Amino acid sequence: MFYRETGQFKSKYKEELAAFPLFEDKIGIGILLLLAYVAIPLFGIPGLSYEFTLSAIMIPVVIFTITTLGLNILLGFAGQISLGTGAFMGVGAYSCYKLMTIFPDLNILICVILSGLVTAFVGMLFGLPSLRIKGFYLMVATLAAQFFLEWAFIRIPWLYNYNNSGGIEGPNKEMFGIIISGPQSEATTRYFVCLTFLVLLTWLASNVIRGRIGRSWMMIRDMDIAAELIGVRPLTAKLSAFAFSSFYVGISGALMVFFWLGAAEVESFDINHSFTYLFMVIIGGLGSITGCYMGAILVWVIPVLIKEIGKTSFGYDAFVMENLSIILLGFMIVVILIVEPHGLARLWQIAKQKLRMWPFPY
Amino acid sequence: MEALIEILYLIFVSPFAEMVAYPDLFFQGIWDGFVSGTLYGLIALGFVLIFKASGVFNFSQPILVVLAALSLVSFYKMGIPAWISVILVLVMFYVLAFLIERLILRKLVNQDGNILFMSTIGLTFLIIGSAQWIFGGRPSAMITDELGLPNGSLEWPMFGGGVYFEMIDISAAVIASIMIVILALFFSKTKIGRGLRAVADDHQAALSVGISLNQIWVIVWFVAGVVALVTGIFWGARSDVSFALQIIGFKALPVLIIGGFTSVPGAIIGGLIIGLGEKVFEIYWGPLLGSGVEGWFAYIIALIFLLFRPQGLFGDKIIERV
């Protein structure tokens, strides 16, 4: 009813390829941006406390959406499976920490971007086996990355400046006279920083994916030998996918430690976290940017809400709620895979199609 | 330059010199590696059974091991005699296999391998959550005495020192070998075994000659559960019974890579290579890197194998058609 392309004619190829070819899509994105930038920081989510909304829901969701974008680029667009996401986030976090201690005057946002580049390099290194192997074999190779990096975060004291706790923590960092990171910063400020990163990175991802590199990734994903025959270089395509994906994951890791947790140890980057990010991608939908948002929101928010409601309204034990949320996560995965293996993004697409036709069935 | 020579010496000379100087320590390491290798092999065997029969890469095998050990101990603590607990666990695994087939696999027939694999990750989380809820997450000791497994150790004097053989390790090796022989016979001689191989070969052809896919899947998941129970008992005896066993279970993945996804002997030989390799590396080269290398060395061995033989030692050659 509201969502029709009727009457919106395109006279140039450029318009055809635009990110949001439909006028309604532009309005929708505008409303979402307004909600995220204005409404939520001003009013929070009704029914939940403001502090809880920002630091337990919005900031992690924004950060994990960046992680999911990164993993989805690798898994959904380039078809290379990875179970090392958690450890790559660790690479981002630790390299940001080292950059901040080596160059104390450097702006923290530049540190975050540089740590993304460092992670991209490490990701490329661990992506090298993908040139020879694929599928489940590649998965085991990325497990090697996960366990090796976890070990490195414990056994190389240089990474955490030889402190006794073995963890890393962020100092207060200022920008334009406002403290944007560290223990004294406001949740709202940190939320704005993360959100801006997310918006910019989403914009970048959607353009890269529609461009030449992104199309070469999808060719490799669909059939690598055929792609090679028509002139896609597997070396550049696969390694650039690993680098690009790790860049996102690294940035999200740095943001997670310095804009959300404040301090972190190796446990924040272990294999169970890698699985959670994989779930976000699967539930959201492989090969879809919208899906990244949906997956991250669903997988993160539902357990948090269940724990919160269980604790405050029913007074359940934290242990029970923890297990309940693990069970629910597993259940969600299985149900989504049975109902719609392409994830929430596909369901959303179907809904949009229905809306377009409404009230007629065909 | 001197530092370089020093490092080269530490890497290439002194470990071997130590091996020769203290052969008893070397043999102790080999024995430990052999036992853990056998157990890795057993976990990998669980993977191989399911992969062969249904093409599902069963990621939940490690958690099945944890579940088996945990439920066995918990049943015993409830006051049920040890042997009846074992039977109860077996019944539980049969019910579980039935439910998995009925509720998950049957709905996912004909889906891509990746989807099936991911559904087993979902299953893993379901099992973790429920097992933790029902049985609690605290580590506990395995009930080896009550199961009639021998304890204590044998000391075998040699080269001026002595090598200790824990009785539980010896029984692990013996029972694992018996189990492999039984499984091999089961696969080649029985009707069900032939059915399993037929299904592995071609789903549709198997269906057309009247083999019930669903029944085969229940059986194979149950057999994988039995393998998990045996592995769980012995790993539980070596370390505590806890969810940390799951991480050990992941070591079966590099084992699979070395042995090949479809080969039963491959799983065992791969397990031995990984077990021996990582133990020896940990003892002689680990201190150079600051120890704890056991966590990832297995994966590095697997990566090196992959570079030369992507299909594993005994795996079928991968032929791709465009």
Contact B322 A223 (CB under 8 A): yes
String of DSSP letters for A6-17: TT----SHHHHT
Contact B296 A147 (CB under 8 A): yes
φ, ψ for residue B157, nearest 5 deg: -70, 135
Q: What percent of chain A has pLDDT over 90?
A: 13
Least reliable range by pLDDT among A126-130, A310-314, B72-76: A310-314
Average pLDDT on B100-123 reads 82
Average pLDDT on A264-272 reads 83
Average pLDDT on B164-173 reads 77
Res B174 pLDDT > 80: yes
Q: Which site among B125, B288, B308, B317 would you substitute to test the A interface, given the most A Cβ atoms closer than 10 Å to its Cβ?
A: B125
- Of the ranges A64-78, A303-317, B166-180, B265-279, which is most confident? A64-78
B218 Cβ contact list (under 8 Å, min separation 6): B94, B97, B98, B101
Q: Are B241 and B140 in contact (CB under 8 A)?
A: yes
Contact A333 B303 (CB under 8 A): no
Confidence class of residue B317 from pLDDT cuts 50, 70 and 90? Answer: low
What pLDDT, on the 0 to 100 scale, is given for residue A117?
93
Q: Residue A338: name the closest of B59, B103, B60 by CA.
A: B103
Least reliable range by pLDDT among A149-153, A338-342, B289-293: B289-293
What pLDDT, on the 0 to 100 scale, is given for residue A125?
87
The size of chain B, in residues, is 322
Contact B300 A155 (CB under 8 A): no
CA distance A2 to A123: 44
Confidence class of residue B144 from pLDDT cuts 50, 70 and 90? Answer: low
CATH of domain B32-308: 1.10.3470
Looking at beta carbons, which residues of chain A come within 8 Å of B256?
A: 140
Q: Are B161 and B25 in contact (CB under 8 A)?
A: yes
Average pLDDT on B46-59 reads 81
Distance between B143 CA and the closest CA of chain A, angstroms:
26
What pLDDT, on the 0 to 100 scale, is given for residue A243?
92
SS3 content of chain A, % helix, strand, coil (to 5): 75, 5, 25
**Residue A40 forms part of a structural domain:** no
Contact A129 B130 (CB under 8 A): no
Q: Residue A279: name the closest of A3, A46, A86 by CA.
A: A86
Q: What is the ipTM of this complex?
A: 0.80
Closest Cβ opposite residue A337 in set B118, B125, B303: B118
What pLDDT, on the 0 to 100 scale, is given for residue A247?
93
CATH of the domain at A318: 1.10.3470
Output A311 or A324, whichever has higher pLDDT: A324
Q: Are B62 and B248 in contact (CB under 8 A)?
A: yes
Contact B115 A341 (CB under 8 A): yes
Long-range residue pairs from B128-131, CB within 8 A, at least 24 positions apart, any chain: B128/A326, B128/A330, B128/B63, B128/B243, B128/B246, B129/A323, B129/A324, B129/A325, B129/A326, B129/A327, B129/A328, B129/A329, B129/A330, B130/A323, B130/A327, B131/B63, B131/B66, B131/B67, B131/B70, B131/B71
What pLDDT, on the 0 to 100 scale, is given for residue B199?
78
Neighbour tally for B313: CB within 10 Å: 16
Instruction: Tell me the residues of chain A between 44 and 83 that have a Cβ less than 8 Å away from chain B.
Output: 81
Residue A179, Ramachandran bin (φ over 0: left; ψ between -120 and 50: alpha; else beta): beta
**Residue A17 forms part of a structural domain:** no
Q: Are A75 and A286 in contact (CB under 8 A)?
A: yes
Interface check for A143 against chain B (CB to CB < 8 A): the answer is yes
CA distance A275 to B246: 14
CA distance A331 to A337: 10
Res B74 pLDDT > 80: yes
Average pLDDT on A165-180 reads 72
What pLDDT, on the 0 to 100 scale, is given for residue A116?
92
Output B126 or A361, whichever has higher pLDDT: B126
Is the omega angle on the peptide bond into residue A359 within 30 degrees of 0, that is, cis?
yes
String of DSSP letters for A332-357: HHHHHHHH-TTHHHHHHHHHHHHHHH
**Residue A200 forms part of a structural domain:** yes
Residue A181 pairs with which residues in a beta bridge? A173
CA distance A311 to A313: 6
Average pLDDT on A170-192 reads 74
CA distance B191 to A347: 44
CA distance B122 to B269: 30
Distance from the first to the final alpha carbon of chain A:
14
φ, ψ for residue A40, nearest 5 deg: -70, -45
Least reliable range by pLDDT among A68-72, A256-260, B23-27, B96-100: B23-27
The beta-strand segments (E) located in B41-185 are 153-158, 161-166
Average pLDDT on A74-95 reads 89
Output B189 or A44, whichever has higher pLDDT: B189
CA distance A129 to A137: 9
What pLDDT, on the 0 to 100 scale, is given for residue A27?
80
Could you tell me the CA-to-CA distances from B140 to B69, B83, B128, B168, B241 in Å, in that order? 10, 18, 16, 17, 5
Res A359 pLDDT > 90: no
Based on the structure, what is the number of domains in chain A? 1
Query: A-B interface: how many C-beta pairs under 8 angstroms?
Result: 125
Looking at beta carbons, which residues of chain A come within 8 Å of B289?
A: 155
Q: Are A87 and A274 in contact (CB under 8 A)?
A: yes
CA distance B119 to B56: 10
Distance between B264 CA and the closest CA of chain A, angstroms:
18
What pLDDT, on the 0 to 100 scale, is given for residue B285?
77
Neighbour tally for B105: CB within 10 Å: 23
Average pLDDT on B53-69 reads 84
Helix or strand holding residue B297 (H, E): helix B294-308
For all residues of chain B together, what is the average pLDDT? 80
Confidence class of residue A68 from pLDDT cuts 50, 70 and 90? Answer: very high
Confidence class of residue B320 from pLDDT cuts 50, 70 and 90? Answer: low
Q: Map tokens 């969600």 to a residue.
A: A332
pLDDT tens for each residue of A201-248: 988 998 898 888 999 999 988 888 888 888 888 888 889 999 999 999
What pLDDT, on the 0 to 100 scale, is given for residue A251?
92
Looking at beta carbons, which residues of chain B come within 8 Å of A133?
A: 306, 310
Residue in B closest to A324 by C-alpha: B129
What pLDDT, on the 0 to 100 scale, is given for residue A45?
72
For all residues of chain A together, what is the average pLDDT? 83
Contact B133 A324 (CB under 8 A): yes
CA distance B265 to B129: 33
What pLDDT, on the 0 to 100 scale, is given for residue A65?
92
Q: What percent of chain B has pLDDT over 70?
A: 88
Looking at beta carbons, which residues of chain B come within 8 Å of A275?
A: 121, 125
Tokens coding B288: 């150079």
Q: Is B154 helix (H, G, I), strand (E, B) or coil?
A: strand
Domain that includes residue A205, residue range: 50-357
CA distance B198 to B219: 14
Res B42 pLDDT > 70: yes
